[in-house]
A = this chain, B = another copy of it.
Amino acid sequence: MSNTFGNIFKITTFGESHGTLLGVTIDGLWGGIKISQKNISDALDERKPSGVGSTERREKDEFEIVSGLFEGKTTGAPLTIIIKNTDARPQDYESLKNTFRDGHGDKSWLDRYGYRDYRGGGRLSGRETVSRVVAGAIAMQILNTLGISIKTEIVSIHGDYENFDNIIKKAMEMHDSVGGRIKCTISGVEAGIGEPVFDKLDAVLSHAIMSIGAVKGIEFGSGFHSEFLYGSENDKIENAGGILGGISNGQDIIFNVAVKPTPTINSGKRHDTCIVLRIGAVIKAMAAITILDYYLIKYSSNNLKRYFKKEV
């Protein structure tokens, strides 16, 4: 129920933080797409720990496409990609066997399923997002050919708009962690993407982005600031965030994401002081997966028209 996302471009992910491997199965692609392995590596690299305060866990993130590809091209069969864990240390988590960490979902999982894998959060670990990034890279490759690009930028860390490194260093010295805010811009989406009522484009993007571990909030266009504007001011197109009535209007789609500080880093396990540095790759992936899916939904019905022998 919970490990599949999407309607037509549909991904199913699996694997745990300290298990053998992680993976993703992508369904819904047509045949003949030459999958760029470089795109996938690049996206994985962007997600990798780097810079100040990053986790000491060093995963190579080498991936293998184990099904769905024939002579480098998709066949229409489901595409499965696996990424082996090479730096897992399940033994580090023995101490968590009978305890729960604050701010983590350890106990929630137990309440939900009645049994748990206590090694590093199991499936609730941020490591799970490696599967999303792989799928997102493939979605992105297709969107690129439609002239669509997605970028993220760090707006602020711990309330500061400039001195990110210093802020993080200070948190490290305090053996503490910090969060921040990310802005995501999706350019080139044509007008008319999104489904009115329940699957408004901003609603499904919110679903996608809020499903990323550390995310605590999302706002589109003028968002939480819109209440400070009168309607006559807010009606300006730049405040819509590229979506009106839940459907793209041809402008850039813009949203902000609230990222909380990494929880319980004082538990002594390997962690990032500030996940904001890495989460952009995951946000881009989820945005790409969602946008492609809603392109496919739109074109499922709209395009049948051209095959009609006479007018409906």
Is the Cβ of B108 less than 8 Å from the Cβ of A248? yes
A282-296 vs B, Cβ < 8 Å mask (1 yes, 0 no): 000000000000011
- Give chain B nearest CB distance to A155 CB in angstroms: 9
* CB within 8 Å of B: which A296-312 residues: 296-305, 307-312
Chain B residues near A199 (CB-CB < 8 A): 1-2, 211
Is the Cβ of B3 less than 8 Å from the Cβ of A108? no
Is the Cβ of A104 less than 8 Å from the Cβ of B244? yes
Of the candidate stretches A43-51, A55-63, A70-78, the one touching chain B is A70-78
Interface centre among A2, A190, A207 (most CB of B within 10 A): A2
Assembly stoichiometry (copies):
4
| 19 A-B contact pairs sorted by A residue (CB < 8 Å) | A1-B10, A3-B78, A4-B12, A16-B75, A30-B114, A30-B301, A31-B113, A70-B117, A74-B115, A111-B249, A113-B192, A123-B196, A181-B227, A202-B210, A227-B261, A230-B261, A234-B261, A234-B263, A296-B304
Is the Cβ of A27 less than 8 Å from the Cβ of B7? no
* CB within 8 Å of B: which A176-197 residues: 176-181, 190-197
Is the Cβ of B211 less than 8 Å from the Cβ of A216? no
**A133 close to B (CB within 8 Å):** no
* CB within 8 Å of B: which A219-242 residues: 219-224, 226-232, 234-237, 239-241
- Give Cα distance in the complex from A88 to B260, angstroms: 46
- Give chain B nearest CB distance to A34 CB in angstroms: 7
Is the Cβ of A3 less than 8 Å from the Cβ of B198? yes
Chain B residues near A301 (CB-CB < 8 A): 8, 28-30, 296
Chain B residues near A33 (CB-CB < 8 A): 312
- Give chain B nearest CB distance to A33 CB in angstroms: 5
Is the Cβ of B260 less than 8 Å from the Cβ of A228? no
- Give chain B nearest CB distance to A14 CB in angstroms: 4
Is the Cβ of B67 less than 8 Å from the Cβ of A178? no
Is the Cβ of B75 less than 8 Å from the Cβ of A246? no
- Give Cα distance in the complex from A244 to B105, angstroms: 5
Chain B residues near A300 (CB-CB < 8 A): 8, 296-297, 299-300
A80-117 vs B, Cβ < 8 Å mask (1 yes, 0 no): 10100000000000000000001111111111111111
Chain B residues near A259 (CB-CB < 8 A): 226-227
Further 6 A-B residue pairs, CB within 8 A, beyond A21-B66, A224-B258 = A4-B12, A31-B113, A108-B247, A108-B249, A181-B227, A199-B211
Per CB-CB distance, the 5 closest pairs between chain A and chain B, nearest first, are A105-B245, A217-B219, A76-B113, A31-B115, A300-B300
Which B-chain residue is minimally distant from A193 (CB atoms)?
Answer: B112
Is the Cβ of A227 less than 8 Å from the Cβ of B8? no
- Give chain B nearest CB distance to A265 CB in angstroms: 6
Interface centre among A73, A141, A174, A235 (most CB of B within 10 A): A235
Is the Cβ of A104 less than 8 Å from the Cβ of B230? no
- Give chain B nearest CB distance to A283 CB in angstroms: 13
